[in-house]
Structure 1
Amino acid sequence: MADGWPDKNIYDPARDKMFWWRNDPVLNQHHEHWHIVMPSGEHNGTSKDREGENFIYMHRHMLARYDANRWCLGMPLVDPLIDYVHPIPEAFYPPPFLSQSIDGRPDGVRVPFPARPPNQVFRDIVTMGDDNTETVFAVKDLTNILDEIEIWIDGKTDEVHPSKLNLTDDEATSLGGDIEVVLHNIGHNMLGYIMHPYTLHAVPSVLFGARAGTRDPLFWRWHRHIDNIYSKWQNLLGPRDFSDDMPPVTIREKDIILSFTDILLVVDKSGVNDTWVKYANEKFGGKYFDKDLSNHPMVTKTLQTKMKIRDYVWLEDGQDHEKIQHLYPRDWIWFIRAQNVSPKPVTLTFRIWIAPIDLIDKHAYWIEIDKFKRTLGPYEKTVVSQRCDHAVVIRKPAQKTTKQMDDTAITPWQKEKLDQFNFAQVAEKLFCDCGWPYNLIIPRGSKKGSTFKLFVYVSDGTNDLVRTDTQCGSTLLCGGEKWTDKVPDIKPFGYPFDRPFKDGSFYKTFQGMKNVAHTDITIKWVEDFPEV
C-alpha cells in the first residue's frame, strides 16, 4: 500500500488495459461538466432543449468510443449490467489521490472514495434511525421501473405512463428523460452505496455523482444497459428513409482526403489562414478533381496517435502530483471534394463518422467526429476543408497543452464562487468548458494499425441550424449555450445513425446515395510524431 494502491495480487493498474482511458482527467471533467450544463431539472418552468434525448446520445457517444478502444485491444465489447440479482464480479479500487467532500463535514475536509470489493449484489438501501428504519431504494422497485419502461416502449400504458409512447422522433426526449431521472439515477445511487447499503450517511463510491464515475468499469456496464433499453425503442422505429434528405451533391470514396497538419505547414505555411482551401483546390481540385489521390505525398490513409506522460496535479482534490499517461492525436485536416449538380446554390452539412470495421452494422457503435456547413455555387466543383481541432464534438479551444487540459477542472474555490448562482446560471457559465477532450478525438488504434470505416454524409443544410462558427464548448454534445437556446441541429441526435440499418446492413442502408461516401482508414498507435 506504499503507493496507495492495494497489493498487486488484488489489483494492479498496470494490468488494467483501459485504465489510461477511464482515468483520463479530461474525460472525467467532460462527463462532470455535461451533467452541470445539461441538468434534468426545470428552471422557471423550462428544461434544457431536448435534454433527455441528449442524455442518451452523449452517453452513447462515450460508450462507442470506449468500446472502440476495447476493440483495438482485442477486448470484448462492454457487457451490459442487466442482472439486478446475482453478484457483480468486478471489483474497483479508485486512485489513492481521488477524494470527495462530504455534507456535514468541516470545511475543507475531504475523504477518499471507497473501494468496491468483488461479488457485491444490489441490495435495498435503508436509513437507520433511533426507532425505525426506512427503505430509500429497493431492488424490487428498480426491477419494477425497468418493467414499466419496457411496457411503455411496447406501446402500452399504465398508471405510471398514462400516455402512449409514439414511434416518432419527437418522443426521444420523453423516453430519454424518463430513463434518466428514474431508472438511471436510482441505479447509480444503489451502485454507489452497494458496499454499505444500510445507511446513506456512509461514504459513497465514484458511481454516486458525475465527477469520477467514468473511472469505474461498472459505469460502462450500467450505461450499456441503459442504452440498450433506449435502443429497443429505436429499433421499433425501423430504418430511416433518407429520400427527403438527398441534396443535389455528389461525393465519392476518392473524394475523402486526409492530410497531416504538420506536413501541410511545411509545404504551405500560410495555408493555415484559410485551412488550406486554396492549396487543396490547386492540388486536389481543378484538373485533379476526378483523380484518385491515394498515393499523393500529401495524403494519408492512416491517422496516428501516441501516449504521452504529463505531470498531473489533483486540483479538485488534495493538490497531489502524479505522473499520468494520456492519449494524443497527430493533428490532421479533412479535405472533401464535392460537386453541386444543380443550377442553384446549395447549403450543405457535412457529417463525419467513424466505426471499427467489425462493428459497422451496429448503428449505436458509430462515433460522430464532426459536422460543419458549407455553401456551393451552381454546378460548383470544390474542395472543402476542416481542421480536426475545430471539430464540433470537442471542447474549444482544443486542449492541447497541460495547462489547457487542467483549465476545466472544477476546483473547490471555483465551486465556492458558483454557489452564489442557481443551477441554470451555472449551466450557462460552464458551457464553454463542456465538450469531448481533443486528446481523445479518435481511438488509440493499435501498434499494427486498426481498420476503421470513415463515413461522410452530406445532408441538406438549409434548415438544420448547424452552427458554422468555432465558438467555445461543444454544440454537438452540450446543447445550446443559453438555458433557453435550441439544440443547434433539428435532426435527431446521432443522425444518420439514430435508427437501425436496413436488413441490419450498413452497406444496404446507404447504397446508391450520391451524397454519401465512405472509405477505410487505419488508426495506428506510434511512438512519436510532430505536434502543432
Structure 2
Amino acid sequence: MGAIMVSEIVKANVEIVFGLGTKIGLKPLSQDTPKQQPPGFSVFRKEDATRAAELAERLMVIAEDKGLESATAFAAEVSEANPGLARHALGIFSTHSAMGRNVRLPSLLRRTAAFAARTAAKGEEVTLGSKSTGEEVALDWFREDPLANEHHEHWHIVYPNRVAPARIKQRHGELFYYMHQQMLARYDVERLSAGLKPVAPLADLRSSLGSGYDPGQLETSYLDYEPREPGKTMAGDLADLILLDERLARAASTHRLGPAGEEVLLEGHQGSNLLGLEAESTSLQRFEEFHGNHHGDGHGHIAAASVRNTNRSTGVMADTATAIRDPAFWRWHRHIDDIHFSYQDSLDPHTFDEQLDVQLKGISLQPEEGDSPAGPGPDELRTFMRSGRYKLTNEKTYKYDFLSHEPFQFRVDLQNTADGPRPVTLRVFLLPSALFSIDADPTTASGRQMRRFAIELDKVKIDVPAGEMSFVRKGRDSSVIRRPAVVDPGEVADIEGGDQSATAECTCGWPFGLLVPRGTVDGMHFKLFAMLTDNAADRIGSPKKCGSMSFCGVGDQYPDAKPMGYPFDRRLTAPLGQLVATNPTMALRDVSIHWQDAVG
C-alpha cells in the first residue's frame, strides 16, 4: 500500500498519545478502554509488552474497518488512562501495519524538548540538565545523544518481543544480541578515548550499580524519572533473576536450552537466535516458565532503584526511549553480552576457505568526493562536537550537543579474474588499535576478547565486472546508520511531514554522527578492515531506501545468510594480520581519528 494523505485529526490524535496535544475531532469509540493508570507502564515488563502488542493488533483491525482516524482516536482514548501503553502500541502499529506505516510519530528530540521546556519562560533557552556521577560524566555526551536514544527506542518497536509469534521477525534473537553488542563496542571505544577502561559487566547482580544518574528535566506524559544515587544496588528480591541468569549461562556453556529432559540443542548462529529469543522473553520463547524474562527483569530491578514511592516515578531504565542514558544500562548489557560471548567463543572458528574470483587489492578512507590515491601514512578523519537548538512553537528553545564528523567515503580496489561479472559482499569494520592488535595471539584469554571491539561500518553488495575496478561508497550510505542520514538531530522530519521517511522502521538505525568514534585530539589509531564474501551465498540484495539494514533488517527478513558480525562472531585461530596477509579477499588500512576539542 502506498502513502496516503493523513488528516489533521490523525496527526492531532498521535500528538495526544505522546502528550503533545489536546483531543479534537472524534468522540470516544467505546466504553471498554482502561479507566485507571497502572503503576508505571514499562515495555520491559512482560505483561505490559503483551498488552501493548494486543492493543496494536486491535488498532490494525480498527484501521482496516474504520480508517486511520478511528484507529488513532482509539489510541488517544486509551492514552487518557494509560499513555505508556498507547504510545508503545501506536509505535508497533506504525511499523507492522500497512495502513499504520502512514502514521508518523513525533521525534524523540521534539518530545524531550517539549517536556524539558514545560516550565520555562517564553523565549527561554533550556537544556535537559541530566548527568551521571564520577568518571562516567566523561561519556554523558554519548549516552544523551538524541538520535542514539531514538534508535534504541525504535529498534524495540521494529522488533517488539511480545507480538504474535507470526509477527516476530527473522533472526530476532540473534539481532537482539548483535545490535546491543555493537552499541557496547562503540561505547567501549568512546570510553578509551576518554581515558576510561571498558565497561565493567554487572556480573554480581547483588553488587553496586556504581555511578549514579540524575535525569534532570527528563520526563514523559506518564512517567517521572527519578535520580539514582551512586552505590545503589538492584531493588527488590533478586532470587528469581539470579536463577534465570544461572540458567541462561548454563545453556550458553552446555549448548542446551531448557530444563533437563526437554533440552533444545544450540548450534551455530541459529543457537544465538534461540538463546536471544529466551533472554528477551519473546513470544517465540520455548521455555517461558524456565527462562522467564531475564533481560526485561534486569531493566526493571535497576529502574526500581530510583523509585520515590509514587505510581509515576521510576528510573530511566524502565523505558526504551531513555534507558541508554544510564551508565547501569551498559553494565547490565555487558553482562548479557558476556553470556552470549561465552556461547560464541565455544563454537568452531571460521575456516575462511571460501573461493572467490574477486580479489581485494586495497581499501582507503578519503574525504567525500576525494579522488586522491592512498598515501603511505594513515588515512585521517576529523570529528567535532556541535551544539544544536530545537525551536518549539511556543518560542522556547531546547539546546543539545552532538558529535559530527567531516564527510568521508571508502574506496576499494578490486580485481575480478573471471571472464564475466561476479557479485561480492564488501564487509567493513573499524578496529581500535589499543583494544584489538592485529599481531596479537587471539587464542589467549585477552586475545579472545579483542573481536568484541570490532565496529561494523558498512556492508554492501558490489557487482564486479571482469578485470580491475575501483568502488567508492560514502559514509552517509552505510548499512549501519539510519537513512536518509541525519547530520543534525534537529533536522529530523516530524509529524507534520507527508512521506514515510520518518516511520518507526525508517528511524531505526545508528546515528550518522556516531558512525565513527570521536577519537582524540592527538589522533586515535585504528585499523580499517575489509573483507569480500560470495554475495550469491550471502543473499544480500540492494540497499533499502531507509533505516539500517545491518541493525534493523529489511522488512521481516535479515538480508545476510552469514552470522551477524561475521567474521568477528567467532574466535580467530591466528593473528588477524597473518590472516589478511594470506587471504586475497581481506585488506587492512591504518586510520587516525582526530577530535576537534570545541563545541561549534
Report the TM-score when normalising by structure 1: 0.78
**What amino acid does structure 1 have at the position aligned with 2:337?**
D
CA RMSD of aligned residues (A): 3.2
Which residue is 1:74 aligned to?
Answer: 195
Per-residue CA deviation, residues 459-497 of structure 1 (Å, 9 max, x unaligned), is: 11113222323511111101222xxx3111111111111
2:475 aligned partner: 388
- Given that 1:348 and 1:460 are in contact with CA atoms closer than 8 Å, whether structure 2 keeps it comes out as yes
Cα deviation, residue 365, structure 1:
1.0
Q: How does 1:42-441 map to 2 (within 5 A)?
A: 42-43=163-164, 45-94=166-215, 96-102=216-222, 112-124=224-236, 138-153=237-252, 154-156=254-256, 159=259, 162-181=262-281, 182-196=293-307, 201-243=311-353, 245-252=354-361, 255-261=362-368, 264=370, 293-294=374-375, 301-312=379-390, 321-360=397-436, 361=447, 362-378=450-466, 380-404=467-491, 406-407=492-493, 429-441=503-515
Structure 1 CA distance, aligned partners of 2:163 and 2:147?
28
Distance (Å, rounded) in 2 between the aligned partners of 1:242 and 1:100: 50
Q: Give CA deviations for 1:221-273 in whole Å, capped at 9, x if unaligned.
A: 11111101000100110321221x34122224xx21222126x3xxxxxxxxx
Same amino acid, percent of matched pairs: 29
Name the CA distance, whole Å, in 2 between partners of 1:41 and 1:62.
23
Cα distance, 1:382 vs structure 2: 1.1
Contact 2:224/2:312, CA 8 A, preserved across alignment: no
Q: Distance in 2 between matches of 1:140 and 1:57?
A: 28
CA 1:59–1:158: 2 relative to 1, 3 Å: closer
Residue 502, structure 1, aligned to residue 573, structure 2? yes
Q: Is the 8 A contact 1:370 1:392 kept in 2?
A: yes
Partner of 1:276: none
Q: 1:81 to 1:160 in 2, by over 3 A?
A: farther
- Following TM superposition, by how much is the alpha carbon of 1:22 offset from its aligned partner in structure 2, in angstroms? 0.7
C-alpha change, 1:207 and 1:427, in structure 2 (3 Å) is farther
1:108-132: per-residue Cα shift (whole Å, max 9, x none)? Answer: xxx53100012222232xxxxxxxx
In structure 1, the partner of 2:40 is none
Deviations 1:171-230 (A, max 9, x none): 221111112222111100111112349x78351110012001111111111111110100
**Greater alpha carbon shift after TM alignment, 351-360 vs 339-348:** 339-348
| Alpha-carbon shift at residue 56 of structure 1 (Å) | 0.5
Letter of the structure 2 residue corresponding to residue 515 of structure 1 = T
Q: Are the equivalent residues in 2 in contact too, given 1:349–1:461 (CA < 8 A)?
A: yes
- Bigger CA drift: 383-392 or 458-467? 458-467
Please say if residues 40 and 48 of structure 1, whose CA atoms lie closer than 8 Å, have aligned partners that are also in contact.
Answer: no
CA distance in structure 2 between the aligned counterparts of 1:402 and 1:21, rounded to whole angstroms:
14
The one-letter amino acid of 1:368's match is: E
For residues 499-525 of structure 1, give each alpha carbon's deviation from its aligned partner in whole angstroms, at most 9, with x where no partner exists. Answer: 11215x333454511100012110111
CA displacement, residues 264-319 of structure 1 (integer Å, 9 cap, x when unaligned)? 3xxxxxxxxxxxxxxx5xx75xxxxxxxx415xxx97101111111114689xx99
Kindly state the Cα deviation for residue 38 of structure 1 after the two structures are TM-superposed: 1.0
Deviation at 1:60, TM superposition (A): 0.7
Q: Cα–Cα, structure 1 residues 16 and 258, in superposed 2: closer, same or farther, change >3 Å? A: same
After superposition, give the CA deviation of every residue in 1:48-77 in whole Å (9 maximum; x if it has no partner): 111111111110111111111111122110
Per the alignment, in what secondary structure is the counterpart of residue 17 of structure 1? helix
Residue identity opposite 2:588 in structure 1: H
What amino acid is the match of 2:368? T
Are positions 1:457 and 2:531 aligned together? yes
Partners of 1:147 and 1:189 in 2: how far apart? 18
Match of 2:586 among 510, 516, 521: 516
Contact 1:356–1:452 at 8 Å: present in 2 too?
A: yes
1:402–1:25 CA distance, 2 compared to 1 (3 A): closer
Could you tell me which residue of structure 1 aligns to residue 545 of structure 2? 471
Amino acid at match of 2:195: G
Change (3 A) 1:258 1:6: closer
1:465–1:320 Cα change, 3 Å: farther
Deviation at 1:158, TM superposition (A): 5.1
Give the Å deviation of 1:5. Answer: 8.8
What's the TM-score, normalizing by structure 2?
A: 0.69
After superposition, what is the alpha-carbon deviation per residue over 1:121-172, rounded to whole angstroms, capped at 9, x for unaligned? 2232xxxxxxxxxxxxx31111110111122221346538822332322222
Whichever residue aligns with residue 180 of structure 2, its letter is: H
Structure 1 stretch displaced more, 336-345 or 212-221:
336-345
The number of aligned residues is: 451
Q: Aligned letter for 1:194?
A: A
* Aligned equivalents of 1:238, 1:170: Cα separation in 2: 14
